[in-house]
Amino acid sequence: MNERWRVFVGSASTRLGAEVCERLETAPAAYECRRFPDGEMQVEIPAPLAGCDVFLLQSTSPPVERHLMEFLLLADACRRAGASRLTAVIPYLGYARQDRRVERRSLGARVMASVIATAGLDRLMLMDVHTSATEGFFDIPLEHLTAVPLLARAAAPSMRENSVVVAPDLGAVRRAREYARLLDLPMAFVHKTRLSGADVQAHGIVGDVRNRAPLIVDDMLSTGATVEAAIGALRAAGAVEPICVAVTHALLVGRARDVLRHLPIARLIVGDTVPIEPPAVRQLEVTSVAPLIATAIQRASRDESLSDLCVPA
């Protein structure tokens, strides 16, 4: 590891960051995050960073506001400590689903981008953001990394001649197309309407799924409602087991664990972009994205191309 590199790991990504640093043959850089009695945070860097190429690894996972504020304070402290270049690696970007204007609702993805811009970053790395349109909200150079090849490789042993890749909604079609290419499988997608943050309704399937075993792919699994609706629609259309699911971000909030327990899912393959807290989910298999992030950091520090690590154009 070059002595001019530093990798700071935020509290939302402790386990992932430790594995990334192990692959980079370094230790996470030290910093202190203290809280005042009124709840305010303060971050301090104990050593100067003059001339250092600094990478900040922190997911903005739940609780989003706390992890975002820690990230912003850490970035500010690194700048004040003299970092020559500052790159943020955000494996999971909170608020990314709020990417379209609907009447008088807030546009959360745009607000998040504006807040992150105040950190004084030189470069930003995100992973499998909900939609590539989110990139347009940022004014700084952005690398949109993807865990799809890692997850497709993990899913491959379960794929059969009658397997089919399924996007659970229109927004996941582009991602499903890449899985289908990597696994050399046909593709289908589900027509879905979101009724609320926790409720969705599937209207039908586009593509041939009869007597086929589906691999449902998406960027995230939050409450499980989308997967639940997709499986219902697939079974009604004649799909057969085993049913597998692959997602990059396993948020597993709300009633997700109860939903998953009652679904006929043989394998649930997920990335470790957010910490997965107990209780365990029977079908869960975690595929680490640490090799991808470590490679991206190594190349970025050398000003090498990351194009083969990113979402295809």
Please give the full DSSP string across 265-308, using - where no structure is assigned.
Answer: EEEEEEE-SS--PSSP-TTEEEE--HHHHHHHHHHHHTT---GG
Is 162 exposed, middle or buried, given 0-12, 13-18 or 19+ CB atoms closer than 10 A?
middle
| Angstrom distance (rounded) from CA 241 to CA 215 | 10
Q: How far apart are CA 201 and CA 222, in angstroms?
A: 15
DSSP string over 157-192: GG--TTEEEEESSGGGHHHHHHHHHHHT--EEEEEE
Kindly give, in sequence order, each residue whose CB lies less than 8 Å from that of residue 220, ignoring residues fewer than 6 positions away: 92, 130, 247, 248, 249, 250, 251
Q: Just list the catalytic residues.
A: 192
What DSSP character marks residue 97? T
- Name which of 187, 263, 198 is nearest 230 in CA terms: 263
Q: Please give the helix or strand (H or E) that residue 242 lies within, else none.
A: none
Of 143, 125, 137, 151, the closest CA to residue 55 belongs to 125
Q: Which two tokens stand for residue 84?
A: 């020559």
Q: Report the alpha-carbon distance of residue 115 to residue 99 in Å, rounded.
A: 15
